[in-house]
Amino acid sequence: MSHGGKAFAAIIAMGVVTACAMLGWYPAAFVATPEDIGGDSHIVWASGVDRMAASAIRYYGQAAGQTTSTVKLAPEIAREAHAKSLDALIDTIIVRDAIAHDDGTAEADALLEEKMATYSQNPEFSVAMSVVYGLDAAGFVEFIARPETEREFLKNGEKWDDAAFAAWLASERAGSKIVRFSK
């Protein structure tokens, strides 16, 4: 390959890397859950963390009476929203692996479908999701409905109260191997 060809290939490669970085297509964390819940490995993508953090910021902005989507935030609040979103996604992975390890995925999915059918009967539901969370229906299911339903399913299946669930989750998190690439 000539020097011109190598330079062109390098420019294309840099463009692809830049595009991936801008779109959040890079890992924010690797998570390997403990063996007692399957020991599976997962990647948490930065784009998911960004979407969840933006939704949380919008939700809390709405709750605080900020009606605009361009709420000015202190950098530390944005960093905290990203850190808490990453933690929430890691917790979701742990809960999901525990359910899958106990062969409860189909039952948890059925419970989610039942809840979403109830929600979708309200014609203003999708508008409310967009206004309050800044999410479409798929984003709402991914970041809010599915994780909450899975937590509820696991807590009810194990007959845990909130304190017992929190203790279990902290134990499983401590037993997980988590490599964070961003905070």
Tens-digit pLDDT profile for the chain (183 aa)?
Answer: 666 777 777 788 677 666 656 666 678 999 999 999 999 999 999 999 999 999 988 888 777 775 544 456 677 888 899 999 999 999 999 999 999 999 999 999 999 999 888 887 887 888 888 888 888 888 989 999 999 999 999 999 999 999 999 999 999 999 999 999 865
- Sheet with 27-32: strands ordered across: 41-45, 27-32, 177-180
Query: Tell me, what's the pLDDT at 27?
Result: 87
Q: Is residue 133 part of a domain?
A: yes
Q: Is residue 7 part of a domain?
A: no
Q: Is residue 43 part of a domain?
A: yes
Q: Is residue 94 part of a domain?
A: yes
Query: Tell me, what's the pLDDT at 76?
Result: 83
- Is the pTM for the entire model greater than 0.95? no
Residue 52's contacts (CB-CB under 8 Å, 6 or more residues apart) are: 85, 88, 89, 143
Q: What is the total count of domains within the chain?
A: 1
Query: Tell me, what's the pLDDT at 78?
Result: 84
Which domain, by its residues, includes 176? 29-180
Q: Is residue 121 part of a domain?
A: yes
Q: Is residue 151 part of a domain?
A: yes
Q: Is residue 21 part of a domain?
A: no
Q: Is residue 9 part of a domain?
A: no
Query: Tell me, what's the pLDDT at 66?
Result: 59
